[in-house]
Structure 1
Amino acid sequence: MIIKSFKKVMLLGVAGVALAFSLSAYAQQEIKIGAVYPLSGAAASSGAEMKNALELAADIINNGAKGIPNLPFSAGGGLPNLKGAKIKLIFADHQGNPQIGASETERLITQEKVVAIIGAYASNVTATSSQVAERYKVPYLNPESSSATLTQRGFKWFFRTTAHDDLFVHNFFEFFKELEAKKGIKVKQLATFNENTLWGNETTKLEVKLAAERGYTMTKTITYPAKSTQLTSEIQSLKAANPQVVMESSYLGDAIMAMKTYKELGFSPDMILANNAGFTDTEFRRTLGKDSDYVITREVWSPDLAKNNPLIKQVNDLYNSKYKADFTGNSSRTFTGLMTLADAINRAASTEPEAIRKALVETNIPGNKIIMPWKGIKFDEQGQNTYGSGILVQIIDGKYNTVWPFDMATKDIVWPMPKWDARK
């Protein structure tokens, strides 16, 4: 009888296939979620941290986390509205390649029969990967990619929990304004130094636009090829332009190479103002040591914000005890993304894609239930979390310290950066 019913479902076409996936996952008491991340290649270090965050979130949902009662699913035992069904993560390595990201997403949907996708960190990979999920009508939860256009495509199945670059770049210019008003530090000459994929190119456009609108001089605009093997000529051009502040968007390998080249060429602007990514990877500080100090980077998370939200320290301690490192802005968002997706699947009480999509639309998680310094998670009609926000942190003595907004700061800003030959 069960076999006959299943055959009947299969005759219903694409909708039937989706329902069959859902019935299969439920029958096995297992919720398969596809995770598309850079597990090899230039961003492998970042990918490894995000993979760890996903595995921690799944472990909490499946097995619990004692002593953290305010964290959703901390009691363990799987998803209660699906009779304790456990989360099973199926990982795929996109290697930083948009085409591989797309093909791996299709494999996860058609062969692994996942009920949802989470990923994919790099905005250009998220763009192609999510197109596949949209075509197959499978929910796609994006925790980290910040290209503003990702939620401007009219997609029905795409949801993003992080804030985006439109907000983050506006934050940079609000920071400059408050820096003058509250600290007496006047910034006028800027330069941009960004990688040339979707993320870097869109960031450059917005930075140039806002600089012109707000009366700043853009002394140089440089986009360099992603995964470059050297940046000497580009940084020589930056140095010749003599900006006060370099606004930089680089993934890990490029960020490390840029800092080494700045030092080699003796280039010391007043500040390097980074747009997250490589500058917030644990490996950035580990590789550069003291040479990473004084950089200011856009962030969404910092351990020193635990004074405002006990969950930040409690969950970070769990992560640290397991992986011997703190969360980063990337991995904390990834953790939050899976917890959000699990919340939707649980409220849907179903693994049917449309039910999960509907539950995501109705998401309204308060800020005291997440580890991010946000008001919460609530999606608009484009699938963008309207409660996301950003902060600025500065690396001092090898640690990230919140320095803006000034009313949230845990340490005074160091400005300008000391010259290379004046550092201890």
Structure 2
Amino acid sequence: MRRTFVKAIIGASIAMAFHATASAQTQEVRIGVIYPLTGPSASVGGELKNALEMAADIINNGAKVRDLPFAAGGGLPGLKGAKIKLVFADHQGNPQVGATEAERLITQEKVVAIVGSYNSAVTLTASQMAERYKIPFLNPESSSASLTQRGFKYFFRTTPHDDLFVHNAFDFLKELQEKKGVKIGPIATFNENGLWGTETTKLQAKLAPEKGYTLAKQILYPAKTTQLTSEVQTLKAANPSLVMQSSYTPDAILSMKTYKELGFSPDMILANNAGFTDTEFIKTLGKDAEYVITREVWALDLANRNPLIKEVNELFNSRYKINFTGNSSRTFTGLMVMADAINRAKSTEPEAIRKALTETNITADHLIMPWKGVKFDENGQNVLGRGILVQIVDGKYNTVWPFNMASREVTWPMPKWDQRKSQ
């Protein structure tokens, strides 16, 4: 009897410990997030971290924001109020570090899903690791078109990709000529030589002649470079009317300083987001950032069409004293989409989360993005996203295209550098 009693006590203790562990697990949903928290892109990485933390806080504790999913707080109702726990990893802008950190998050931190990673080259390697371990990977910002052309089952991307964005740029130029009477001369491309920049270059090289434009020069410069003098001199010698540029924050700022220093002043710089929409771009350059046009996915002036944009941005600004950007707004949205899938899955099993992601159908009225919604195709690409173009005027990003959504007219051409001194 004594032996039986001891066995019963031990068995009960083990069961209690098991149930306590299971209960603890259901109270916390561990999501890995991989971003550049140090290195050249640390400034934008910090903003993305803020966006993620605010999204998690809204889910866990609530916020007075109408129409936003989970704004009531209290965790995920589908998991009996389980709270989101973000587990951060720093990829430093290095693809190999991104892959290593993804594996660490999966094998050591036991995350049930991953969100990341801003830099397309890092998203490529980190998501390969997630696919190997069959862990859902949601990418809110990376735009290299090939990321959703790999046949992966566990990879999902909410942002539109560069194929759409580059087409948007040429659609804008066509409408600018037809509706505004602007003449577009020779085009040059000036892109970083990573995955994102090289893929964008190929798309631009293909579309420019198809759309009837002369491609005067294509320049790929070293990513993370500390000087662009020779490249800008080559660009200036080609004398393009328009420069299409893809740069991360440090080189976006460096290029503008070099343009001014060498007196290179095309009619327009049409940028491909990233560094040109980082808060540091205008903060560092001041008036020298003026008139650049960049593709975007979000703009504060669209709040007159969607009040949710204003409400969520005010919450972000009250916490961090900065406004959302196209980068941080997408990251915020990405975590919300992942939380929606986990909530509907009513499970932290990766396969259940993957299945729920394939069934995602979020409508426009529940997003802070100017999209038609979020719905993934068989490749994991959101088919309801779209892009806009904004122009920096008076230190703000103003929507200028599509023209029916514009908050102001396009200023074209950009004033020459020596014409800005009195401004």
TM-score (norm 2): 0.95
Instruction: Provide the rounded CA distance (Å) in 2 between the counterparts of 1:205 and 1:376.
Output: 29
For 2:46, give the aligned amino acid: A
Instruction: Provide the rounded CA distance (Å) in 2 between the counterparts of 1:352 and 1:385.
Output: 23
Q: Which of the numbers 50, 53, 59 marks the counterpart of 2:51?
A: 53
Counterpart in the other structure of 1:259:
256
Counterpart in the other structure of 1:286:
283
- Distance change in 2, residues 1:136/1:4 (3 Å): farther
Larger Rg belongs to? 2
Counterpart in the other structure of 2:41:
43
Does the Cα contact within 8 Å between 2:27 and 2:82 map onto a contact in 1?
Answer: yes
- Distance change in 2, residues 1:140/1:3 (3 Å): farther
Using the TM superposition, give the Cα deviation of residue 123 of structure 1 relative to its aligned residue in structure 2, in angstroms.
0.2
Instruction: Provide the rounded CA distance (Å) in 1 between the counterparts of 2:76 and 2:334.
Output: 16
Counterpart in the other structure of 2:231:
234
Instruction: Provide the rounded CA distance (Å) in 2 between the counterparts of 1:24 and 1:185.
Output: 65
For 2:58, give the aligned amino acid: I
SS in structure 2 opposite 1:87?
strand
Using the TM superposition, give the Cα deviation of residue 260 of structure 1 relative to its aligned residue in structure 2, in angstroms.
0.1
Instruction: Provide the rounded CA distance (Å) in 2 between the counterparts of 1:111 and 1:4.
Output: 24
For 1:114, give the aligned amino acid: V
Q: Extract structure 1 runs of 4+ deviating beyond 2 A.
A: 1-6, 23-28
Counterpart in the other structure of 2:393:
396
Q: What whole-Å deviation, never above 9, does each CA across 1:41-63 have from its counterpart, x for those lacking one?
A: 00000100000000000000000
Counterpart in the other structure of 2:320:
323
Using the TM superposition, give the Cα deviation of residue 92 of structure 1 relative to its aligned residue in structure 2, in angstroms.
0.2
Instruction: Provide the rounded CA distance (Å) in 1 between the counterparts of 2:150 and 2:40.
Output: 28
Q: What whole-Å deviation, never above 9, does each CA across 1:174-225 have from its counterpart, x for those lacking one?
A: 0010001110002131000000000000000000100021121111100000
Does the Cα contact within 8 Å between 1:39 and 1:48 map onto a contact in 2?
Answer: yes
Aligned pairs (5 A) from 1:11-410 = 27=25, 29-66=27-64, 68-410=65-407
Using the TM superposition, give the Cα deviation of residue 69 of structure 1 relative to its aligned residue in structure 2, in angstroms.
2.5
For 2:356, give the aligned amino acid: A
Instruction: Provide the rounded CA distance (Å) in 1 between the counterparts of 2:300 and 2:133.
Output: 38
Using the TM superposition, give the Cα deviation of residue 2 of structure 1 relative to its aligned residue in structure 2, in angstroms.
8.3
SS in structure 1 opposite 2:280?
helix
Q: What whole-Å deviation, never above 9, does each CA across 1:110-135 have from its counterpart, x for those lacking one?
A: 00000100000000000000000000
- Distance change in 2, residues 1:267/1:64 (3 Å): same
In structure 1, runs of 5+ residues without a counterpart are 10-19
Using the TM superposition, give the Cα deviation of residue 282 of structure 1 relative to its aligned residue in structure 2, in angstroms.
0.2
Does the Cα contact within 8 Å between 2:398 and 2:408 map onto a contact in 1?
Answer: yes
Does the Cα contact within 8 Å between 2:29 and 2:85 map onto a contact in 1?
Answer: yes
Instruction: Provide the rounded CA distance (Å) in 1 between the counterparts of 2:233 and 2:111.
Output: 48
Does the Cα contact within 8 Å between 1:176 and 1:186 map onto a contact in 2?
Answer: no
For 1:276, give the aligned amino acid: N
Q: CA RMSD of the aligned region, Å? A: 1.7
For 2:203, give the aligned amino acid: L
SS in structure 2 opposite 1:411?
coil
Instruction: Provide the rounded CA distance (Å) in 1 between the counterparts of 2:153 and 2:276.
Output: 32
TM-score (norm 1): 0.95
In structure 2, runs of 5+ residues without a counterpart are 1-10
SS in structure 1 opposite 2:167?
helix
Does the Cα contact within 8 Å between 1:300 and 1:391 map onto a contact in 2?
Answer: yes
Instruction: Provide the rounded CA distance (Å) in 1 between the counterparts of 2:13 and 2:199.
Output: 51
- How many equivalent residue pairs? 410
Instruction: Provide the rounded CA distance (Å) in 1 between the counterparts of 2:175 and 2:22.
Output: 55
Does the Cα contact within 8 Å between 2:66 and 2:308 map onto a contact in 1?
Answer: no
